[in-house]
Structure 1
Amino acid sequence: MSALRAAAGEYLAMRRALGFKLTTQGRHLMSFVRFCEERGADRVTADLAIEWATRTSRGSGNEVYQARRLDVVRIFARHLQALDPATEVPPDDVLTRRYLRIPPYLYSPQEIAALMSAAHALRPALRAATWRTLIGLLAVTGMRQGEACRLRRDDVDLEAGTLLIADTKFGKSRLVFLHPTAITALRAYEHARDQAFPEPEAATFLMNSRGGPLDGHNIQHTFAVLVAAAGIQPPPGRRAPRLHDLRHVFTVATMLDWYRDGGNVQARLPLLSTWLGHVDPKSTYWYLQAVPELLALAAGRLEQQADRQAVP
């Protein structure tokens, strides 16, 4: 094992012990270590870091993505420099950090119904039931797909009508409250699941056709099949619809309802941020400028306020 690989392993273990998950960051850091080893380098240099960050495996020319890759090395290099002064910390102004979030695909209610209908055709029957439940759950709760896949049986309280989202993306937990129709659907799934696997190996609420947990990395392949079967096509020049976009659908629908009922949307947004598990309310406010209909409603609300203030 190279000294650089050993240092990276110790660094990742230390940060994970402090509560950082480092799922993507850890993968990127070890990729950089392999990059250095292939070139016979035994320490971090700025040139190596920049070369690795800009030579992505998929050939992405997105500088924001490349800057994030470089950040992984930069943080590691700062740690390593205290142990090895010869370590070079890559400069932080090499690549742009201007983040451009890609607009989500907003499924219509008819498209969500078509997705669930396509899921019904999957085989075996439990796989179909799991996918219908997953799609419906994401659409009506706004959960992240990973949160739904990790949801444990003990986290689901259908008597109280709540889901406990534990150890989330940012290490926090939250409660999600269920509509009675959602409770009914989850009870039906629970019954079908327990009939198929009375003594399953997995402790997760949602299971695959073999009685194991859903693989969050592979579900996109099945979802792509369902999107095609449902006849859903993105507008020209836009990326393919994702399972994660169901979370956006929930968020936008909630905000649209708030505007239409005349309530104070700004006062409610922190509540929505908490519900979604956003660590920063800016992630929720982004929808106001990303979705034209929301932007129009927000602008209309501001014009009404301005008109009232202008009346003598």
Structure 2
Amino acid sequence: MTLVDAISAYMQVIHANGCKGDSIHGVLSLFAKYVGQDRELSSISPAEVRAFLDGNRPLSHYWHRKHSALMRFFRFAIARGLVPDIPLPTRTPRCNQDYKPYVYSEDDIDRLIAALDGAHDTLIEARTLRVLVLLLYGTGLRLGEALHLCLADIDLSRQMLTVRDTKFYKTRWVPLGTHLVQILDEYIVAVHESINVETCDDSPLFIRRDGGRPTASGIRRAFARLRSKAGVLRNDGARYQPRLHDMRATFAVHRLTTWYQQGADVQRLLPLLSTYLGHASIAATQVYLPMSPELLVEASIRLGHYVALEKQS
């Protein structure tokens, strides 16, 4: 069986198990491009696999992501007798490069929005990027989820978003704050009336100057330029600069901090936050919870209350 046919069969199994598997498919597609998609699967050598894994960049966690995707794929192949053995290295290099999510402050957001004044992009209008940033900051949506929203998914009267066919083929409802409802309402009226395109329920919420739906890569590039212009930079020695995806971590941390400040039962509410974010487990949510200074302060205060109560008893 050729590599491309084996990948197709494997992805059918992934989809049947209720997972989109976009990241896995991305790695396998790059692998097929590297070794040749019409290659017989059994002819691929360990040396070729190792060369693909190592690439030409410094070791990072992406090496392990590629290794994990290929390992699962070749286990699928060996279970069906498509290959005699798994052509992956048995030992994996240790990588100490942990990416720490960046938590945007309110000042960061203000600077990003202010930097949009006078900003010009070929396809992405400043007002579109503004509303998208505020939506991600205020709801914790994934970028892909936000870009796939249609007008029919926006119920401003009920202050609710419908997020359809998410990462795990689930649909969920996301409540909106009053201020965000107003921002979306003004955007829909202004943008969809100013661009000469037919508007209907399945029209995308976010549109480019030419009326098309923005791409994730285009938005990320526009945001990188905006972030640089606003001077929102990391000063913790991290290799990566703040990403648009870090709005998701920011939402989670701010929500948790607020619960601590309100004296809420955080352990009981954490599963609700996980569901709100569309995670399959609480463990997935914990990845988005770096200990920001504000969160550390609130956690310390809570711990102090518990210690005081223990001493009294």
* TM-score bracket relative to the smaller structure: 0.7 to 0.9
Residue number in structure 2 paired with 1:165: 163
Higher relative contact order (CA 8 A, sep 6+): 2
Does the C-alpha gap of structure 1 residues 160 and 289 become closer, same or farther in structure 2, counting only changes over 3 Å? closer
Question: Where in structure 2 are the equivalents of 1:130-149 lying within 5 Å?
Answer: 130-149=128-147
Q: By how many angstroms is 1:98 displaced?
A: 7.9
Does the C-alpha gap of structure 1 residues 169 and 98 become closer, same or farther in structure 2, counting only changes over 3 Å? farther
Q: What SS is found at the alignment partner of 1:175?
A: strand
The 2-side partners of 1:52 and 1:20 are apart by 29
Does the C-alpha gap of structure 1 residues 127 and 288 become closer, same or farther in structure 2, counting only changes over 3 Å? closer
Q: Which amino acid letter does the alignment assign opposite residue 138 of structure 2?
A: V
The 1-side partners of 2:81 and 2:48 are apart by 16
2:149–2:204 contact (8 Å) kept in structure 1: yes
The count of corresponding residues between Structure 1 and Structure 2 is 309
1:118–1:229 contact (8 Å) kept in structure 2: yes
The 1-side partners of 2:75 and 2:46 are apart by 15
The 2-side partners of 1:258 and 1:301 are apart by 11
Residue number in structure 2 paired with 1:210: 210
Residue number in structure 1 paired with 2:244: 243
Does the C-alpha gap of structure 1 residues 144 and 38 become closer, same or farther in structure 2, counting only changes over 3 Å? closer
Does the C-alpha gap of structure 1 residues 30 and 139 become closer, same or farther in structure 2, counting only changes over 3 Å? closer
The 2-side partners of 1:136 and 1:161 are apart by 15
Q: Which amino acid letter does the alignment assign opposite residue 168 of structure 2?
A: F
Does the C-alpha gap of structure 1 residues 272 and 49 become closer, same or farther in structure 2, counting only changes over 3 Å? farther
The 1-side partners of 2:250 and 2:184 are apart by 20
Does the C-alpha gap of structure 1 residues 123 and 287 become closer, same or farther in structure 2, counting only changes over 3 Å? closer
Q: By how many angstroms is 1:181 displaced?
A: 1.2
Question: Where in structure 2 are the equivalents of 1:97-116 lying within 5 Å?
Answer: 101-116=98-113
Question: Where in structure 2 are the equivalents of 1:47-58 lying within 5 Å?
Answer: 47-48=46-47, 50-56=49-55
The 1-side partners of 2:2 and 2:124 are apart by 48
Encode CA deviations 1:187-211: one digit per residue, 9 max, x unaligned: 1000112212353487211111111
Q: What SS is found at the alignment partner of 2:134?
A: helix
In the alignment, structure 2 segments of 5+ residues that lack a partner are none
Of 184-193 and 232-241, deviating more is: 232-241
Q: Which amino acid letter does the alignment assign opposite residue 149 of structure 1?
A: L
1:107–1:249 contact (8 Å) kept in structure 2: yes
Which among 67, 70, 82 is matched to residue 67 of structure 2?
70
1:119–1:128 contact (8 Å) kept in structure 2: yes
2:2–2:37 contact (8 Å) kept in structure 1: no
The 1-side partners of 2:8 and 2:128 are apart by 37
1:46–1:88 contact (8 Å) kept in structure 2: no
2:141–2:248 contact (8 Å) kept in structure 1: yes
Does the C-alpha gap of structure 1 residues 159 and 281 become closer, same or farther in structure 2, counting only changes over 3 Å? same
Q: Which amino acid letter does the alignment assign opposite residue 65 of structure 2?
A: R
Q: What SS is found at the alignment partner of 1:176?
A: strand
Which among 118, 121, 127 is matched to residue 115 of structure 2?
118
Does the C-alpha gap of structure 1 residues 21 and 266 become closer, same or farther in structure 2, counting only changes over 3 Å? same
Residue number in structure 2 paired with 1:254: 255
Q: Which amino acid letter does the alignment assign opposite residue 220 of structure 2?
A: Q
Q: By how many angstroms is 1:233 displaced?
A: 2.2
1:206–1:213 contact (8 Å) kept in structure 2: yes
Which among 188, 191, 214 is matched to residue 190 of structure 1?
188
In the alignment, structure 1 segments of 5+ residues that lack a partner are none
Task: Report the TM-score, using the length of structure 1 for normalisation.
Answer: 0.87
Q: By how many angstroms is 1:173 displaced?
A: 1.6
Question: What is the root-mean-square deviation of aligned Cα atoms in Å?
Answer: 2.9
Q: By how many angstroms is 1:297 displaced?
A: 2.4
Of 81-90 and 103-112, deviating more is: 81-90
Question: Where in structure 2 are the equivalents of 1:82-97 lying within 5 Å?
Answer: 82-84=79-81, 86-89=83-86, 94-95=91-92
Of 160-169 and 8-17, deviating more is: 8-17
Of 206-215 and 39-48, deviating more is: 39-48
The 1-side partners of 2:84 and 2:65 are apart by 20
Residue number in structure 2 paired with 1:31: 30
Residue number in structure 2 paired with 1:199: 197
The 2-side partners of 1:3 and 1:29 are apart by 13
